[in-house]
Structure formats: structure tokens, C-alpha cells
Amino acid sequence: MDSLKLSTILLSLLSLAIITQAQDPKYLIYSCSDTTTFTRNSTYQANLNLLLSSLSSNSTRNNINGFYNVSAGKDPDEVYGMFLCRGDVSNSVCRNCVNFATKDILKKCPIGKVATIWYDECELRYSNRNFFSAEYDSPVFFSNINYVTFEPERFNQLVAITLSNISTRAASAPTGDKKFAVQQANYNSQILRTLVQCTPDLSTPDCHRCLEGAISKLGNCCDRKQGGIVIFARCTIRYELYEFYNATAAAEAVPAPPPVALSPPPASGSETRRKGKVDNALFNCLVAI
């Protein structure tokens, strides 16, 4: 009887651990084509199913640095797909996020030939067009709904400089390695946290060009905002005044340099704003057209 009770307790604890480990990823947004669609039970759908199955199965591999791309089928029904996990997440978190995404994206976009879904931990996309090259699509923006009130122009400058610094570090990683970097900077007794990432297959110039392009878009969404995200197909930048990544895991992935000091205020310039719908309590978001 005691042995049976012990076995029951152990099974319960194991089940709880599995449930805890396999928590759903934190959903951000998805983008889906309304004009480019496929017919149900078509060749394109069959190829898409094969592609999503391949992405899911390859997410279990430990030697891909959280990134995989693949195509399925032949023209005109060929499908191209990829996933990219945030550089600081574990292999198990990456796997769970990708597996969840392959199912979630079909619920949100059941007949679209072109779709992308983003979570805090990973992104997954597919298209009938080859996006594996260094050509970058229109970005998706997120911005924190809260503004900074202390020297906002200097804050903007600090964000841009810090992101630019770590973009150089991330881009310099050899092709195939994680092109990922984080850095902290001091701002008015608070800590600014920044993150950049490219897909590992990009060359150093292409990664740097993508990240610098993303930084140049910050004025479109995030002027004086406490946080912001700009996402292209092949790279992402993000900054916040709260901890949004695993600092220990990030340091193990790419050691961070010393914090950046706040530099003198720049000359004031014009500001560009675009409206977006509220995605959750913290963020506004929009897809650039």
C-alpha cells in the first residue's frame, strides 16, 4: 500500500512538472494574407502540412541554434517556412513554442498562403514566396503604451546607441552561430534592457543592415515610449525598462559588455507617429504597410 501511494505521488509530481514545463508561449500578434489564399485539400495545403510537420520535428534538434528553414513541394505550390527562437530560451522552451505555433497559426490563418505568428519566445512564418534571401519585408511594430517623462530625447538617443552597439556584436557572429546580443544601460535610476537578433544564416553585412534598418524605424512607433519592438522577417530589435529576457541565459549565450552611460542630449528633431490598436495592457501594435 505504501509503495502504491508513493508511486501515485511520484506520478502526480511528474505530471505537474510536465504541465509546468509545457506552458503555452506568450502570444504577441499574427499576420495573415487575406488576398493570397489556397483551396482546402489542395496541393498547397498538403505541402503546407508537410512543411509545418518538418518545422515541428526539427525543433527537437539541439544543434540548430533555435533556427530552421525549409521548403516543401514544387512551383507553383511550393511553400517556404522557418522558425526562430529567442536567443536566451532553452531548447525545451523553443521546442514547445514551435510545436504550439504550428497548430496555432492554422487556427488563426486557416487558408492564407502567407502567415506569420509571433510569441515572446519564438516566431514562425511561411509563404508561397521565397523569403530566405536578405530582402526584408515591411516590419511589424509594438510599442509600450507608457511614455518616459525624464529627458525623453536623451532616452531616445540612449536606446538608439545601445541597440546600434549590440547590433554590431550580434552581426559579427559567424554565419550559423546565434546572431543575438543583449545589453543594459542606466537611465534615471532605472535599467534599460535591449535585445537584437538575426536569423543565424544571415551574413555579417546582411544582419547588420537588417538591424540598422529596424533601428531606423523606431521613430515610426516608439518615440519616447518606455519600450518597443521592431520585427522584420530576418531580424528583431527590442528594448524595455523591465526585464523581458533571461539575463543569466543571455549572458551564457553572448556575454554582455559593461552598461552604457547616458550621453549628452542631442539636438531636437521631428517625430513620426502612427496609430495602432492596443494588443494588451502594455503594448500598442501595428503592421507597416
Note whether 127 and 270 are within 8 A (CB): no
Cα(85)–Cα(69) distance, integer angstroms? 12
Q: What is the pTM of this model?
A: 0.79
pLDDT at 82 over 50: yes
The proportion of the chain whose per-residue pLDDT surpasses 70, expressed as a percent, equals 78
Note whether 136 and 232 are within 8 A (CB): yes
pLDDT number for residue 132: 82
Conformational region of residue 73, where left means phi above 0, alpha means psi within -120 to 50, and beta covers everything else: left
pLDDT number for residue 15: 42
Domains 24-127 and 140-267+277-287 share a fold: yes
Note whether 65 and 49 are within 8 A (CB): no
DSSP reduced 3-state for 168: helix
Mean per-residue pLDDT for 206-217? 95
Cα(289)–Cα(284) distance, integer angstroms? 16
The reply to whether CATH 3.10.450.240 applies to domain 24-127 is no
Q: How confident is the model at residue 248 (pLDDT cuts 50, 70, 90)?
A: confident
Cα(4)–Cα(1) distance, integer angstroms? 5
b/e per residue 29-40 (b: at least 16 CB within 10 A) = bbbbbeeeebee
Note whether 87 and 178 are within 8 A (CB): yes
Mean pLDDT, the chain, whole residue set: 83
Mean per-residue pLDDT for 89-97? 95
Q: How confident is the model at residue 238 (pLDDT cuts 50, 70, 90)?
A: very high
Q: In 3D, which of 113, 68, 85, 75 has the Cα closest to residue 25? A: 85
Taking only the tens place, the pLDDT of each residue in 158-190 is 999 999 999 999 999 999 999 999 999 999 999
Q: How confident is the model at residue 136 (pLDDT cuts 50, 70, 90)?
A: low
Q: How confident is the model at residue 134 (pLDDT cuts 50, 70, 90)?
A: low
Cell 515610449 appears where?
A: 225
Taking only the tens place, the pLDDT of each residue in 13-32 is 444 444 445 689 999 889 99
DSSP string covering 190-257:
EEEEEEEEE-TTS-HHHHHHHHHHHHHTHHHH-TTBS-EEEE-SSEEEEEESS--S-HHHHHHHS---
Q: Which CATH architecture has domain 140-267+277-287?
A: 2-Layer Sandwich (3.30)
For residue 176, which amino acid is it?
A: G
pLDDT number for residue 69: 95
pLDDT number for residue 278: 32
pLDDT at 3 over 60: no
Q: Which residue has the higher pLDDT, 101 or 271?
A: 101
- Per domain, the residue ranges of the chain are 24-127, 140-267+277-287
